[in-house]
Structure 1
Amino acid sequence: MPQNAPVLRDIHVPEVSMWWPLAPGWWVLIALALIAVAIAIHAWRRRVARRRRADAVLAELHAARERHAVDGDAAAFAASVNQLLRRVARLRDPRSVTLSGDAWARALAAQAPRADVALLVALDAAMYRPRADIDVAGTCRDADAWIRAALRRSSRVTA
């Protein structure tokens, strides 16, 4: 061998990584994990939005009660609480906004079955009376319970 000749070495194969490329089963598992994370984030956002909506509605109910405590206007209190109930009812069943009397009572009872709606139905007529005699504390208690129950149920009424 000549003295000036380069020294040749053996062929070096690059190291093979055993984890890449991933097998199809791993891709399916990653896709399922991403879908599960997306569903969890969506459910969490809906829950937070529902809680914020309920808090806003209940704050509006308590503001109506405080306004009544200041001015004593029972008709205005009845009108604002009745409007609030109809807005919450519209979230679940858009047709319930136009109801009155017994149909309105059935709609209230259907949307929150465990709530007592007797005082709430009376608001429909009390807001038109010049001197409405309303149990404000009882109405607020029943409206609070009805709103919580109606907003807790997540599915809309169909048909």
Structure 2
Amino acid sequence: MRDVHVPHVSAWWPLAPGWWVLAALLLIVVAVLMLAWRRRAAWHRYVDGTLQELRDASRRHAQDGDAAAFATTVSQLIRRVARTRDPRSVTLRGAAWRDALASMAPRQDVTRIAELDVALYRPAVSLDASVVARDAEAWVRQAMRRDAQRPHAGRAKTHVGA
């Protein structure tokens, strides 16, 4: 009779089912982290692009002194950012618009940027572009913070019961 020979099995291969599960979980975690990193990078590119538009408008204003064009560009930019926070906010005017801006960036003084909508329709626009640009940039930075992105944050206050 011959002795029983145990076949040679590598310690590394084939893996036990628990290792396959662990490897699959590791791949899923890596994929989720990569996706989150890409979304964050895309968000930062969006914020940087928005702020670059504001800087370009300031630079154009410094060159040509066209306050009406500057006010129009900054107002459109502010409304576009506001739409990312609350889509209904772009239809607001006056005090409701100022309140919406203040709710999106509570630590910022929104008086000058809220007045841009009125300044657009004046025949002679007089504004301090550097101060407006500084206020707008501070508002955009705070309003576009990822931790501040709560969908429809201010809707409960604007809803009026019958």
* The one of 31, 42, 52 aligned to 1:49: 42
Point out the structure with max Rg over C-alpha.
1
Supply the distance in 1 between the matched residues of 2:12 and 2:114 (Cα, whole angstroms). 67
Deviation digits for residues 32-58 of structure 1, max 9, x if unmatched?
A: 211211111111111111111111111
Q: Partner of 2:21 in structure 1?
A: 28
Matched, 1:76 2:66: no
Residue 151 of structure 2 is matched in structure 1 by 157
Identity %: 60
**What SS does structure 2 have at the residue aligned with 1:88?**
helix
**Aligned with 2:115: secondary structure?**
helix
Aligned to 1:112: 105
Residue 95 of structure 1 aligns with an amino acid whose one-letter code is R
The amino acid that maps onto 1:73 is D
Alignment size in residue pairs: 151
Question: 1:11: how far off?
Answer: 8.2
Q: CA separation in 2, counterparts of 1:146 and 1:44?
A: 25
1:122 alignment partner in structure 2: 115
**Alignment match, 1:87:** 80
How far residue 117 of structure 1 moved from its aligned partner, in angstroms, is 0.6
TM-score normalised per structure 2? 0.84
C-alpha distance in 1, partners of 2:46/2:144? 8
Quote the offset at 1:90 in angstroms.
1.0
**Is the 1:89–1:108 Cα contact (8 Å) retained in structure 2?**
yes
Match of 1:142? Answer: 135
Structure 2: runs of 5 or more not aligned: 156-162
What TM-score, normalized by structure 1, do the two folds share? 0.85
RMSD, aligned CA: 2.0
* Consecutive unaligned residues in structure 1, runs of 5 or more: 1-8
